[in-house]
């Protein structure tokens, strides 16, 4: 299965080609190269999936060594790819959704001057993400991990002439870097424990090397989870993600919804055998996920910006995924990752169509009544919204339900209640977004631009087919994707496929025996979702429900003051420290260096007078020197 | 019959002093150059004198070396002076101060 190497290699070649020569062969060529490589990678991914399925379940773990990368004493790190059901699923999600978003971008970025640069970055991102998911050890994963971080920075700050975008890019880079420190320390710790960071070895020998609940296992898992928190925007390192919406919308769909931000979840599933040795760390993961889920859902309630609502929604859904993996429901976590990739990418692409129609506006207070002029966009956004709210038969219903029932069955009813409450809030905020964008005609909004072409952009119009078709494909996937994991036939197709990869050393995945309470759980979660939708409708559409409190609104719109807390506690002292270091560096270190320099300079200035340029003066000095020497010798 | 050595040496000292003063006070490069020659030949004179006093020939041999070197120096030095004159229209050594610090 050596050809799996082409999966990350193809987009990488696309990056090189478009990066080097993209300016030369025109927009059409750039688009063909960029989309073609990703589609080809998807095809290779399908081939890998087919040959993997033909293997017996126990043998679905193929390691591809490309070459020995580092060798230092007893430690060798090969550049190794690991092809197993988990990485195959991730490859298909990344290349499949990625290809759709690449194609969508051709339409979305059609008028941008930096067309080639955009697609070069996008290809580099895809290559990095595929390296991440195909990595055979933590070190190779770290390459991809940092690569996607870099591309995230480059693409958030893509319109770098806008100060907000540049600042958001830097913020994303720095905040995720905080987590990456933990991730790197985790890798070192893994080398300390196993002498290798190979996933196969770590999974196989987890029990032998790590006593259950021991300090090493807990520390390792928590350090890696810190990295996951940064990358996947969990509390407390979430705040870069809403700002990341400064990037182009397809980037938000691909990187900040469908793929990169799920890397943390994927990493934990990849390391599940290790996490099973550290129950405390798993509880931390589950609680962080649950708290993030409800926290971000609440923050989304008052956010006026359409894309930022979706960003908080992403944070919240990632919280669900961490809740799932925290209670050991690996399959449910990956299933929700997949389904989220579908419906959140769909929501973002639909939001991108709205922005396209309105000339770049994302403020929902300036939208309204767009359902009339953008029926397709409204329909696809609606499909994504229903999936997000968890209404059957959309894919979100199945995956979210699996997570909730896993949480319920695990041991912690509290987690289940928090998750359920977050699901209710989710329904409310997405209904709010839908109503404000597509239904309510706010006074003085831009839906009536007077006479057609006066404003330059004209009346809101549907996006061109190159943007519409990928959106539509995602909408169909959102509608039928539930078949991957129909919860009534536990375990679902996806979970069964993933079984060999994610259950070694662990108990059977939660939900392998359909409990009698399953029907009740499903009914409750659907009822909550419906109640949320109804509440949202009554509040934002008909205005029947009133009486919101300003205090609550203030609390929510500042996201419970988490960011202010960080600013006060971390940023301000950090700035003070930086100021002190700056002072020391400028006046202390630089001062000493400059003083020496000034001294030498002054000495030189004094000495230069000797070089008068007058020949006769030189001769005189020479004569004086000779006389002095003679006098010395004679007198001796 | 022979002139006593101190006279030769005195003449040599006078010539050398003349050359030194010429180098120091004259501004024309040509005169400076001639003064340098004067100094060289003053030294030659004293070398010959000492050679005779000692009854050897090594001092006289050194004089030939000095003559040859002086000849070479004249060639180069005159070439330089001509070039300076061509480019700067002057042979005043005080005007040639490109190396002033």
Out of B24, B27, B98, closest to residue A613 by CB: B98
Query: pTM for the full model?
Result: 0.74
Residue A239 sits in the same domain as residue A94: yes
Is the pLDDT at B68 greater than 90, yes or no?
A: yes
Domain boundaries, position A590:
565-635
Spatial separation of the C-alpha atoms in residues A332 and A487, rounded to whole Å: 10
Given A557, A585, A619, the domain boundary residue is A557
Mean pLDDT calculated for residue range B10-32? 91
Taking CB atoms and an 8 Å cutoff, what residues of chain B touch A612? 97, 100-101
Structural domains in chain A (count): 2
A612 touches chain B (CB under 8 A): yes
Taking CB atoms and an 8 Å cutoff, what residues of chain A touch B94? 614-616
Contact between A615 and B32 using a beta-carbon 8 Å cutoff: yes
Percent of the residues in chain A that have a pLDDT greater than 70, as a whole number: 88
CB-based burial label for A393 (10 Å; 0-12, 13-18, 19+): middle
Residue A409 sits in the same domain as residue A453: yes
pLDDT tens digits, residue range A146-175? 999 999 999 998 888 888 888 888 888 988
Predicted local distance difference test score (pLDDT) of residue A450: 39
Given A512, A533, A557, the domain boundary residue is A557
Q: Which range is least confidently modeled, A57-61, A139-143, A231-235, A580-584?
A: A57-61
Percent of the residues in chain A that have a pLDDT greater than 90, as a whole number: 17
Residue A451 sits in the same domain as residue A593: no
Backbone phi, psi, residue A137, to 5°:
-145, 170
Q: Which range is least confidently modeled, A274-283, A448-457, A601-610, B47-56?
A: A448-457
Pull the structure tokens for residue A372: 């009339």
Residue recorded with tokens 């995956």: A399
Residue recorded with tokens 């008028």: A111
Mean pLDDT calculated for residue range A547-567? 65
- Do A130 and A95 touch, CB atoms closer than 8 A? yes
Average model confidence (pLDDT) for chain B? 89
Residues sharing a CB contact under 8 Å with residue A163, sequence separation 6 or more, in sequence order? none
CATH 2.70.98.10 fits B5-88, yes or no: no
Spatial separation of the C-alpha atoms in residues A247 and A242, rounded to whole Å: 11
Contact between A613 and B101 using a beta-carbon 8 Å cutoff: yes
Predicted local distance difference test score (pLDDT) of residue A553: 64
Contact between A612 and B100 using a beta-carbon 8 Å cutoff: yes
Pull the structure tokens for residue A244: 């990341």
Residue A551 sits in the same domain as residue A574: no
* Helix A465-480, helix A375-389: angle, nearest 10: 30
Residue A383's alpha-carbon distances to A31, A97, A181, A479, A480, in angstroms, are 28, 17, 39, 8, 11
- Do A223 and A174 touch, CB atoms closer than 8 A? no
pLDDT band at A491 (very low <50, low <70, confident <90, very high): low
Q: How do the domains of chain B map onto residue ranges?
A: 5-88
Backbone phi, psi, residue A241, to 5°:
-70, -45
Burial code (b: 16+ CB inside 10 Å, e: under 16) for A115-130 equals bbbbbbbbbbbbbbbb
Is the pLDDT at A39 greater than 90, yes or no?
A: yes
pLDDT tens digits, residue range A497-540? 776 666 543 444 444 444 556 677 777 778 888 888 887 777 77
Residue A465 sits in the same domain as residue A500: yes
Residue A191 sits in the same domain as residue A211: yes
A617 touches chain B (CB under 8 A): no
Residue A448 sits in the same domain as residue A581: no
Given A524, A557, A590, the domain boundary residue is A557
Spatial separation of the C-alpha atoms in residues A503 and A511, rounded to whole Å: 13
Q: Compare A248 and A440 and report the one with higher pLDDT.
A: A248
DSSP assigned state of A571: I
Out of A607, A613, A620, closest to residue B99 by CB: A613
List, as ranges, residues 26-85 from B with C-beta within 8 Å of A. Answer: 27, 32
Residue A530 sits in the same domain as residue A440: yes
Residue A485 sits in the same domain as residue A572: no
Q: Which range is least confidently modeled, A57-66, A444-453, A464-473, A569-578?
A: A444-453
Residue A200 sits in the same domain as residue A307: yes
- Do A503 and A369 touch, CB atoms closer than 8 A? no
Which residues make beta-bridge pairs with A70?
A77
A624 touches chain B (CB under 8 A): no
Give the mutation candidate from A610, A619, A625 for the B interface (greatest B CB count, under 10 A).
Answer: A619
pLDDT band at A444 (very low <50, low <70, confident <90, very high): very low
Strands A75-83 and A62-72: antiparallel
Residue A68 sits in the same domain as residue A198: yes
ipTM: 0.82
A76 touches chain B (CB under 8 A): no
| Cα A343 from chain centre | 16
Residue A76 sits in the same domain as residue A126: yes
Spatial separation of the C-alpha atoms in residues A13 and A622, rounded to whole Å: 71
Taking CB atoms and an 8 Å cutoff, what residues of chain B touch A613? 96-101
Which residue in chain B has the smallest CA separation from A608? Answer: B101
Contact between A613 and B24 using a beta-carbon 8 Å cutoff: no
- Do A158 and A247 touch, CB atoms closer than 8 A? yes
């Amino acid at each position: 299965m050596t050809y799996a190497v082409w999966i990350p290699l193809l987009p990488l070649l696309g990056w090189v080609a478009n990066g080097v020569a993209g300016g030369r062969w025109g927009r059409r060529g750039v688009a063909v190269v960029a989309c073609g490589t990703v589609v080809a990678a998807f095809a290779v991914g399908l081939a890998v999936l087919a040959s993997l399925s033909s293997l017996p379940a126990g043998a679905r773990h193929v390691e591809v060594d490309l070459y020995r990368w580092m060798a230092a004493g007893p430690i060798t790190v090969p550049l190794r790819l690991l092809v197993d059901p988990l990485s195959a699923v991730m490859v298909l999600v990344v290349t499949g959704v990625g290809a759709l978003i690449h194609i969508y971008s051709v339409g979305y970025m059609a008028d941008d001057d930096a067309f080639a640069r955009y697609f070069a970055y996008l290809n580099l991102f895809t290559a990095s993400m595929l390296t991440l998911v195909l990595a055979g050890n933590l070190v190779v994963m770290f390459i991809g991990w940092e690569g996607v971080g870099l591309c995230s920075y480059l693409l958030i700050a893509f319109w770098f002439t806008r100060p907000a975008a540049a600042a958001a890019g830097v913020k994303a880079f720095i905040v995720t870097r905080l987590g990456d420190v933990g991730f790197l320390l985790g890798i070192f710790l893994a080398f300390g424990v196993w002498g290798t960071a190979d996933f196969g070895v770590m999974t196989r020998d987890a029990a032998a090397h790590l006593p259950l609940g021991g300090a090493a296992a807990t520390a390792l898992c928590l350090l890696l989870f810190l990295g996951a928190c940064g990358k996947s925007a969990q509390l407390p390192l979430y705040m870069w993600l809403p700002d990341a919406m400064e990037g182009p919308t397809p980037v938000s769909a691909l990187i900040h919804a469908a793929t990169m931000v799920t890397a943390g979840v994927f990493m934990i599933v990849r390391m599940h055998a290790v996490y099973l040795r550290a129950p405390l760390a798993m509880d931390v993961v589950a609680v962080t996920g649950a708290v993030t889920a409800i926290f971000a859902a609440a923050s989304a309630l008052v956010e006026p910006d359409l894309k930022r609502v979706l960003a908080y929604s992403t944070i919240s859904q990632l919280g669900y995924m961490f809740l799932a993996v925290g209670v050991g429901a690996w399959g449910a976590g990956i299933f929700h990752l997949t389904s989220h990739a579908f419906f959140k990418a769909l929501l973002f692409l639909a939001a991108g169509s709205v922005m396209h129609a309105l000339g770049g506006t994302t403020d929902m207070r300036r939208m309204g009544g767009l359902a009339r002029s953008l029926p397709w966009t409204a329909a696809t956004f609606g499909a994504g919204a229903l999936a997000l709210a968890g209404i059957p038969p959309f894919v979100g219903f199945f995956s979210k339900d699996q997570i909730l029932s896993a949480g319920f069955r695990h041991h912690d009813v509290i987690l289940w209640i928090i998750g359920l409450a977050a699901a209710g809030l989710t329904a409310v905020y997405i209904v709010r977004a839908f109503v404000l964008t597509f239904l309510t005609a706010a006074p003085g909004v831009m839906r009536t631009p007077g006479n057609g072409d006066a404003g330059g952009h004209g009346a809101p119009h549907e996006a061109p087919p190159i943007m519409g078709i990928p959106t539509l494909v995602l909408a169909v996937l959102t509608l039928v994707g539930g078949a991957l994991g129909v919860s009534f036939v536990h375990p679902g197709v996806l979970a069964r496929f993933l079984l060999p990869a994610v259950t070694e050393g662990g108990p059977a995945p939660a939900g392998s025996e359909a409990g009698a309470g399953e029907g009740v759980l499903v009914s409750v979660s659907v009822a909550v979702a419906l109640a949320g939708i109804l509440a949202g409708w009554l509040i934002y559409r008909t205005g029947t429900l009133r009486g919101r409190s300003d205090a609550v609104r203030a609390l929510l719109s500042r996201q419970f003051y988490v960011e202010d807390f960080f600013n006060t506690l971390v940023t301000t002292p950090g700035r003070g420290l930086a100021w002190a270091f700056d002072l020391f560096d400028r006046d202390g270190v630089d001062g000493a260096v400059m003083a020496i320099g000034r001294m030498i300079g002054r000495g030189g200035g004094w000495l230069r007078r000797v070089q008068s340029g007058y020949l006769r003066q030189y001769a005189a000095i020479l004569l004086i020197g000779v006389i002095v020497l003679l006098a010395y010798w004679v007198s001796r | 019959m022979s002139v006593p050595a101190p006279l030769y040496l005195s003449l040599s000292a006078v010539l050398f002093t003349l050359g030194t003063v010429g180098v120091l006070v004259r501004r024309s490069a040509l005169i400076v150059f001639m003064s340098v020659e004067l100094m060289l030949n003053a030294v030659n004179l004293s070398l010959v004198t000492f050679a005779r006093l000692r009854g050897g020939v090594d001092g006289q041999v050194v004089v030939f070396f000095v003559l040859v070197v002086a000849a070479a120096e004249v060639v180069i030095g005159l070439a330089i002076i001509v070039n300076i004159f061509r480019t700067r229209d002057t042979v005043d050594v005080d005007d040639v101060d490109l190396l002033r610090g």
